[in-house]
Structure 1
Amino acid sequence: HLLLKVFCLISSMAHQNELQTGLAGGEVTLNCTGILPDSKLSRDTLVHWKYYDTPLCKVSTSLPLLPSHTSAFITDRFAIKTQYKQLWVRNLKLSDAGIYTCEYGSHKVRTSLHIFKLMIPLDGHFLQNEVPELILMQNSSSPLPDLRITLLDSHNNRVTPELQNKSRQKYIVNLRKLETMDSGTWVCQVHSDSPLIDQNIPFAVKVLGFQNPDLERKYATVDSTVILSWHLNSQKIKWKEGFTGQLNWKQQESANPHELLDFNITAQGQLHETKKSSDFLFEIPEIKPESTIEVKLPKVHFNHSGQYQCQLEYQGRHAQSKIELVVMKVSAKPVGPLSRGANMTLTCQVAGPLPPNAYLRWERVNGTKMDIKNSKQKEVKLEVNISAAGLWSCHLIEDSDRKISAHYHVEEAAAWTNYVIIGASVGGSLLVFAIGCLCIITVTNWQRRRQRAKRMAQARQYLLENKTCQCQQMYMW
């Protein structure tokens, strides 16, 4: 349709002969119902538009649009669609609500324009775990109806909002706690029985946050390498606002936080990081995915355990995500090979606290059920007394899932072989009565067996050379 600019005031909604709804900030077209197309009107047909009793403008098929000089408002928000003499209004305001009348010849058409205004804080830019407050307002020429409000989220799921304040003119409702997956287009559905209104108001929501879980646990053994990463969704949702943040660490919940680094991300998505700690051994990887905050611990210490919290800040509000690092270590007392008949205590310890469904387990690889010992749930230290050498493993088990294992190899002490050689010399001849092997030797390779045979031969030679009756005790490795 051709648009002819109208310099006149208009408002937005009413209901006598016709009811029409509009949204603040949007546009609406008011019909002059029953009028013939422009080509079929007589040359001198004059169409008047009024707001209540105030003339707004008039248009003729033979003359250009004539604004009504009695109108107190001149604006470019309005235009006439010439074919059917419809009144078109853009950038609607709440104050545009009211009765609009179209008159031509003996015909008079009244339209009641009802305006809704939905106010979204911060233009729909929210942080993870926020509960935004929405305000819905309405204005009409007739008594304001009682509205029912429901919401459809970005996945088209119905949400019943919490109503904080209700008056016929102003409704204040709270959304649910937002997650990053809630980003997208939501719909506010407005219902009224009298007058009959079913109005859908779409609005955009962007939720800036982390794609990590709210609390993530990461497991490591002492001296291993660990990379901690926080993945932001700013690129995914095309967040066009700058924001800042920082990474803190504390060993215990009640401890003071220790700042490791701070960062800022520009509206163009550029990430700038600044290392703040000089006495905490960590690195910032140069190559990493976009919109990712990442630190590398090249050699984990037992006291590196604790909570690593990445925090975002946008316009005075905060969102955070934590990674809890659980570090395991194993030790033995006494340290060293295990002698035959001796005992050793193995200790497995994690930097707690553990979740309630987690426990520790010691077991000997390829051992028996007797070589297994479990801790009680949530215990962070488990000791086991052993008398068998071999590879022992400590597991941290959570919900029947082995999260991490540390191993300790217990060596068996090389045994002393005690040879008692009893000989007798009679008339210059040596009789060997007995050679006794009193201990099990762990040496099994052929080189050591050859050494043992050589030493036994040397012992016999010693007795032959002395040719005396004696008892000689020889200790051989």
Structure 2
Amino acid sequence: EIKMPYKQLWVRNLKLSHAGIYTCEYGSKKVRTSLHIFQLTISLDGHFLQNEVPELILMQNSSGHQPDLSITLFDSNNNRVTPQLRNKSHKKYIMSLKKLEAMDSGTWVCQVNSDSPLINQNISFTVKVLGFQNPDLERKYATVDSTVILSWHLNSQEIKWKEGFTGQLNWKQQESANAHELLDFNVTAQGQLHETKKSSSFLFEIPERKPESTIEVKLPKVHFNHSGQYQCQLEYQGRHAWSKIELVVMKVSANPAGPLSRGANMTLTCQVSGPLPPNAYLRWERVNGTKMDIKNSKQHEVKLEVNISAAGLWSCHLIEDSDRKISLHYHVEKAPVWIKHVIIGASVGGSLLAFALGCMCIISVIKWQRRRQRAKRMAQARQYLLENKTCHCQQ
């Protein structure tokens, strides 16, 4: 298309084959222009799931020798990205990028440079990464009987994802255990989220009010066996992305349970349901106590016991990087004096009762042995009379 009156030639829908030398003749004057064309192609049409690795193909064509190119990439946050060059020829460069995160969505720039001929070209391309705004693995702590809400925020609205996809939420208590499906969901091309509850044995709720594009479950009363991995997974065109929340539950107990008598001891136990990271540990301490009332667990210990002789409020803390994540309290009551007297009385009474029963048993045994001896002597006497009896006859 030639634009008048400036003699401009517009070449639309450029292709690599359009590269070459274009000559403009006007009277006796000739002006030559070399057209160097680049073509940048991104895999999957720029639509990815988180943790996928894009592939870029940069091709060039010109009328002469194809220059050696220097390629630099900048992500949507203007951070420099070093691609992995998998294949290189003078006309074609095949590169692999990093694993993508949901925050990588946006406009990227491929900067192409050459010294001879002098080239400094920026090529923009769009990347959309469907996924979660949560990290791949998140750890959440809770205490027994508390209420916990687990949520995963999809970024489909933020990146204007225009195609539908599905997903599900699974739970398993251990890595090697079978997964239980709690719910499944689908998101329409218009961005509408629909959820369906699947599990009937697992006690949880789907909150009616929650942020848009959010998968959320509520555990109204956490049990110790509710711990484990909760994995939210989405599926698009046979590909999958997921985000996990590991729920760690804490409980405390006492042995023996009940009031603590003066001079008596009690064992308090604090336990968490799963392994702790290396920078986390458990701590028992007595509120308003001394340093002697503090005990820390060793690395990787999930159970901490402390033997106490002082009543009061005892607290178990889960500490990670000097930050108290959760705490659970146990109030040790001091036994009243009358209980102590009752206990002493019961002990003394029990001892006296045992002594009396013992005496009765001994007396009974002695009487039984005497009756047995008397019966034995009578039997011997009868036997003697039978063996020595005499018959007297009258004459």
TM-score for the superposition, normalised by structure 1: 0.69
Matches within 5 A, 1:331-410: 331-410=253-332
CA offset at residue 266 of structure 1? Answer: 1.3
Structure 2 gaps of 5+ residues are 346-395
Does 1:234 find its partner at 2:156?
Answer: yes
2:167 aligned with 1:245, yes or no? yes
How many pairs align?
Answer: 343
Q: Secondary structure at the match of 2:292?
A: helix
What letter corresponds to residue 410 of structure 1 in structure 2? V
Quote the Cα distance in structure 1 between the aligned partners of 2:168 and 2:44: 23
Q: How far 1:405 moved relative to its partner?
A: 0.7
SS in 2 for 1:285: coil
Pick the structure with more helix per residue: 2
Q: Which amino acid aligns with 1:122?
A: L
Q: CA 1:418–1:175 in 2, change beyond 3 Å: closer, same or farther?
A: closer
1:454 paired residue number: none
Match of 2:392 in 1: none
Q: Structure 2 vs 1, CA of residues 111 and 390 (structure 1 numbering), >3 Å: closer, same or farther?
A: same
Partner Cα distance (1:85, 1:104) in 2: 9
Q: CA deviation at 1:143?
A: 2.0
- Among 85, 100, 116, the alignment partner of 1:163 is 85
Deviations along 1:133-156, one digit per CA (max 9) or x if unpaired, are: 101111222121111111122222
1:137-216 alignment to 2 at 5 Å?
Answer: 137-216=59-138
For the 8 Å contact 2:295–2:306, the answer to whether it is kept is: yes
- For 2:237 and 2:59, locate their aligned partners in 1 and report how far apart those are by CA, in whole Å: 26
CA deviations on 1:26-69 (whole Å, 9 max, x unpaired) are xxxxxxxxxxxxxxxxxxxxxxxxxxxxxxxxxxxxxxxxxxxx
Percent identical among aligned pairs is 87
Tell me the CA shift for residue 418 of structure 1: 9.1
Of 221, 238, 251, which aligns to 1:316? Answer: 238
Task: Name the residue aligned to 1:300.
Answer: 222
Give, in whole Å, the separation in 1 of the partners of 2:277 and 2:177.
19
3-state SS in 2 of match to 1:412: coil
Partners of 1:346 and 1:372 lie apart in 2 by: 12
Q: Deviations over 1:400-459 (max 9, x none)?
A: 11111111111222223899xxxxxxxxxxxxxxxxxx99xxxxxxxxxxxxxxxxxxxx
2:8 is equivalent to residue 98 of structure 1: no
**Could you list the per-position Cα deviations for residues 382-410 of structure 1 after superposition, in whole angstroms to 9, with x for gaps in the alignment?**
11111222111111111111111111111
* Preserved contact between residue 102 and residue 132 of structure 2 (Cα < 8 Å): yes
Query: Quick one: which amino acid aligns to residue 100 of structure 2?
Result: L
- Secondary structure (helix, strand or coil) at the match of 1:330 reads strand
Which ranges in structure 1 are unaligned for 5 or more consecutive residues?
A: 1-78, 420-437, 440-477
- In structure 2, the CA distance between the partners of 1:277 and 1:83, relative to structure 1 (3 Å rule), is same
Report the aligned-residue RMSD: 1.9
Distance 1:416 1:196 in 2: 98
Match of 1:448 in 2: none
Give the Cα separation in 2 of the matches to 1:93 and 1:172.
Answer: 19
2 CA distance for matches of 1:353 and 1:418?
A: 41
Q: Which runs of 4+ in 1 moved over 6 A?
A: none
Aligned to 1:328: 250
The answer to whether the 8 Å contact 2:261/2:340 transfers is no
Q: Secondary structure at the match of 1:416?
A: helix
SS class of match (1:352):
coil
Q: 1:417 to 1:409 in 2, by over 3 A?
A: closer
Give the strand-richer structure, 1 or 2. Answer: 1
